[in-house]
Amino acid sequence: MMIYLRNVVGFKMDYFKGMTYDDIHPIFEKKFNSNVAFLQKTKEQMEEEDSRALKRLSETQAEKAAKKQKLDEEVEELKRHL
């Protein structure tokens, strides 16, 4: 726990001198839980962005298909008039 707090959070080892496990554990738990919450939030945001991108792609493909169909109809209509 002390190594985690030193490496990840930036505590100095001198800070823990004279402290017991019961003193260090709440500090570790608080910092660890905040990091886990941040990572979960980041993961949720990434999934949300991915779903938005997929939605945009599917909408774009549908729009392209509709545009192509409309152009094909206009071409056939022009051919009928000529």
How many domains is the chain built from? Answer: 1
Q: Which two tokens stand for residue 43?
A: 């993961």
Tens of pLDDT along 38-57?
888 888 888 888 888 888 77
> DSSP letter at 74?
H
Domain that holds residue 55: 2-81
Averaged pLDDT for residues 19-47? 88
Q: DSSP states of 3-54 as a string?
A: HHIIIII---GGGGTT--HHHHHHHHHHHHHHHHHHHHHHHHHHHHHHHHHH
Res 25: pLDDT: 92
- Tokens 């949300």 sit on residue: 48
Residues contacting residue 9 through CB under 8 Å, at least 6 positions apart: 31
